[in-house]
Amino acid sequence: MIKTSDLKDIDFTDPSTIRLISTAYIDEPAMAPLADDADDLAILEEIEGLTSARLTAALPMLGGLDPAVLLTEAHGYGWTYVNAAFCYTRVTGNRFNGPERGAWYASYGETAIETAQAEVAWHLTRELEATGVFENITSYRELIAGFTTRFRDLNGRTEEDALCPDPAVAYRAGQTLARDLLGSGENGLLYPSARYDSGQCLVALRPHMVQNVRQGETWVFEWAGAPVPTLSKR
């Protein structure tokens, strides 16, 4: 099985990687209609934040996650979204994280948005397939983030189990590699998308790697009886 030491260690810089998250978690500030300008809105948001479940509720401290690594308000906009990516996980984990610790996944390069859309569509279609009903409308917002760091590189190794399109094969191998990366002090991994030809993805294994988070476009995914969704920009 592939190990950290088998992979190239490369410099990676990209100011505009893309992650899609449901707008249910990123709606516009409820206080916006009450504010005359940005300063007023900031004051109202600070007051609202005193009772905001998103800001005040205790995040689940998973067994593999030290609370000291999480971001704080001092890190700027998006810190709560970054923390949530590491604190909330699937029971099965994902390609490069187990159920004990989350990670920040994003796409990059010339086809970043198409890759992000393909990844989201595949996973949500899989969930709908489990119900047998392909009827759903979900809106997703782009979270754009920058990186200037060093990552290990899995590109060019398509034969590796960790890159298999089948989660039953990929997740076991990928999660084993991720544990080795973390144990070796690595920041994350670059890898080819399993859902979009020529698409490029990354997984950041440490919260502080995710920089300059801001919002982008909103996309609506609609399933209307078929397993392939239509996409439109809101």
11-65 residue pLDDT tens: 999 999 999 999 988 865 544 555 555 555 455 455 544 444 445 455 666 667 8
Is the model's pLDDT at 210 over the cut of 70?
Answer: yes
Q: Mean per-residue pLDDT for 210-220?
A: 97
**Tens digit of pLDDT for each residue in 79-102?**
999 999 999 999 999 999 999 999
Is the model's pLDDT at 231 over the cut of 90?
Answer: yes
Which helix or strand (DSSP H or E) is residue 18 part of?
strand 8-22
**Tens digit of pLDDT for each residue in 62-76?**
667 888 899 999 999
Class of residue 57 by CB neighbours under 10 A (exposed 0-12, middle 13-18, buried 19+): exposed
Residue 151 phi/psi, 5° resolution?
-125, 155
**Binning pLDDT at 50, 70 and 90, where does residue 1 land?**
confident
Give the count of domains, the chain. Answer: 1
| Mean predicted lDDT score pLDDT of the chain | 89
Widest distance between CA atoms in the chain: 58
C-beta separation of 210 from 145 below 8 A: yes
Residue 201 phi/psi, 5° resolution?
-125, 165
Is the model's pLDDT at 7 over the cut of 60?
Answer: yes
Per-residue pLDDT, 48: 47
C-alpha distances (whole Å) from 78 to each of 113, 175, 196, 208, 214 are 19, 26, 27, 12, 7
Per-residue pLDDT, 38: 52
Segments forming the whole domain that contains residue 54: 4-233
Is the model's pLDDT at 230 over the cut of 70?
Answer: yes
**Tens digit of pLDDT for each residue in 105-140?**
999 999 999 999 999 999 999 999 999 999 999 999
**Tens digit of pLDDT for each residue in 164-203?**
999 999 999 999 999 999 999 999 999 999 999 999 999 9
What predicted TM-score, i.e. pTM, was given to this entire model?
0.87
The tokens describing 124, both together, are 């949500």
CA nearest 18: which of 220, 155, 210? 210
